[in-house]
Homo-oligomer: A and B are copies of this chain.
Amino acid sequence: MASAVNKSVLSDVAAEVKKYHFPLEDVPRLSCNDPVVEQMIRNEEPVILTDTNLVAAGMQWSPQYLAENIGNGLYTVYSSKTQKFLYYDDKKVARVPDFSPPTVHEDMTFQNFLCKVNKRKEGDRWMYLQQSLNDTVGPPIVRDFTTFNWAWISEQQQKNKWGALTSNLLLVGMDGVITPVHYDEQQNFFAQICGFKRFILFDPSMFGCLYPYPVYHPHDRQSQVDFDNPDFVRFPRAKELRGRQAILGPGDVLYLPVYWWHQVESVPGRGMTVSVNFWYKSAPTEKIVYPLKPQQKVAMMRNIEKMITDALNSTEEVAPLMQAMVLGRYT
């Protein structure tokens, strides 16, 4: 059994983290046996679960343990000049002529990654390993993986009529790395193994305050708002942001609902982080009920943006058409 994270450590961590311009409410921390948990997951509300034992056998996955047991497969390692690792979609890079990727990624062995992290001096690039677990991992890791609490998580999947588990992303980050605010299109159970991660969350209705890049853009799903330096002239509604915060320590699992916005920070001064997420396809939409939910509106806006981009057969013509359709007419 994984021991629950010490509450006083969590409040120390909460006191250390950066403050931004918006208020944050705490995400509830509950036992997975608490009856309200079922309801929260059904309602797509984030919740921290303290005792799922989801990755119990993986709790020994320190960077060192992984280096010794994960094998010689190649892992995708992102590097960045800053602590921030703004995601971009390689497949969309060609559509935006003047796009310059904010990070680069290369494939290397886990051992090579850890060696680079350990040798890193100030001013060197930051590094973040992000790779789906696959069949190249060594036998001890396979063994740990098979003892994950699949019974519990499959029960959640079935209760909520989710689709298939699509991947388990392994994240190994240097102390202080940040994944800027974005949303994903899948349901996620995010299991923290080593170190502390702080999630800043916003519900899907905050779409209008977070100004995601166009869908055709490599930064699709990522907010244009930089919390360290918000541009309230371009993004005035960013002032209306109201968020939630979840601080995860080893053994904690966050239910991160589909379309919820999240920024994820490896808490500075608390060492490297190791996490594994469990991405599931959402339930198929049941019969439509009005008014639509914010999530459904986001899905709809994504479809419209894709349709328009496809129909025009040109990314350059999308903005003028969108503007003509909306400015002075729906504003």
Chain A positions near chain B (C-beta within 8 angstroms): 207-208, 211-214, 224, 234-237, 290-292, 297, 300-301, 304-305, 307-308, 311-314, 317-331
Contacts and interface: CB of A to CB of B under 8 A. Distances in A.
Contacts of A236: 328
A119 to B, nearest CB: 41
Give the dominant DSSP class at A's interface: helix
A323 B208 contact: yes
A329 B292 contact: no
A331 B323 contact: yes
A174 B21 CA distance: 62
A233 to B, nearest CB: 10
A208 B329 CA distance: 10
Contact of A325 (B234, B301, B317, B320): B301
A224 B321 CA distance: 18
A309 to B, nearest CB: 11
B291 A329 contact: no
A314 B317 CA distance: 29
A83 to B, nearest CB: 25
A221 to B, nearest CB: 12
A321 to B, nearest CB: 6
B330 A312 contact: no
Nearest to A328: B211
B312 A319 contact: no
A314 B329 contact: no
A331 B321 contact: no
Contacts of A214: 329-330
Contacts of A328: 211, 224, 234-237
A234 B326 CA distance: 12
Interface centre among A304, A325, A328 (most CB of B within 10 A): A325
Nearest to A302: B325
Contact of A305 (B212, B213, B234, B325): B325
11 contacts: A208-B327, A214-B329, A237-B328, A291-B313, A304-B304, A304-B307, A322-B326, A323-B331, A325-B326, A326-B326, A326-B327
Contacts of A207: 324
Contact of A292 (B211, B291, B311): B311
B330 A301 contact: no
